[in-house]
């Protein structure tokens, strides 16, 4: 009788630990979030992206300084227009604007995937029409701002104008 009770206790304890391990694995998997794309189109997880960013910072910090005086070079015009993230989780990301539409939102099939709870799945798009770049809100819940004003119909993008989607701020650079 005592042996049976002891075996039941150990069995219950093992089952409890099994449940805890399953919960921890599930929470860990869910906390990693959506996959993001690198500039060359590869998909990677946020954890890998953070690891790569830390490695890049270490390389830059350990690089020897070549000259004590700064070298000033004339600004080079960008061959293709860029959409540059200036604030938010993806700060520093630059997305070249080619000939195709750029979709912005949380869904994995967007060109720029935002990890922002205020962004809709398909929040906005940037497109080229007759040589000009335009911003259009795709019926998002929280709206899109251009220069602090809500985008209700397609608006032409001006260089340096801030585009705000949730907590993410971007700017168009021709």
What digits encode the pLDDT tens for the residues 66-94? 555 555 556 565 468 888 899 888 888 88
Q: What is the dihedral of CA 84, 117, 104, 95, to 10 degrees?
A: 30
Task: Walk across the sheet containing 168-173 and list its strands.
Answer: 94-96, 82-87, 168-173, 162-165, 145-146, 149-150
Average of pLDDT values for 42-58? 67
Distance (Å) of CA 82 to CA 13, 38, 68, 69, 118 = 57, 15, 31, 30, 23
Decide which of 3.40.50.1000, 3.20.20.80, 2.60.200.20, 2.40.30.10 is the CATH code for 77-173. Answer: 2.60.200.20
Q: Where are the domains of the chain?
A: 2-31, 33-62, 77-173
Whole-prediction pTM value?
Answer: 0.54
With beta carbons less than 8 A apart as the criterion, state whether 114 and 153 touch. Answer: no
């Amino acid at each position: 009788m005592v042996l049976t009770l002891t075996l039941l206790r150990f069995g219950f304890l093992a089952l409890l630990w099994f449940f805890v391990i399953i919960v921890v694995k599930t929470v860990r998997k869910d906390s990693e979030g959506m996959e993001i794309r690198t500039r060359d189109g590869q998909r990677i997880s946020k954890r890998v992206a953070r690891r790569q960013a830390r490695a890049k910072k270490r390389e830059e910090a350990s690089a020897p300084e070549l000259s004590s005086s700064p070298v000033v070079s004339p600004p080079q015009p960008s061959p293709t227009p860029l959409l540059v993230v200036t604030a938010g989780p993806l700060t520093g990301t630059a997305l070249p604007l080619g000939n195709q539409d750029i979709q912005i939102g949380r869904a994995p099939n967007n060109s720029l995937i935002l990890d922002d709870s205020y962004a809709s799945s398909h929040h906005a798009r940037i497109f080229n029409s007759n040589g000009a770049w335009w911003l259009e809100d795709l019926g998002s819940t929280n709206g899109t701002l251009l220069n602090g004003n809500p985008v209700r119909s397609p608006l032409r993008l001006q260089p340096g104008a801030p585009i705000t989607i949730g907590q993410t701020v971007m700017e168009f650079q021709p």
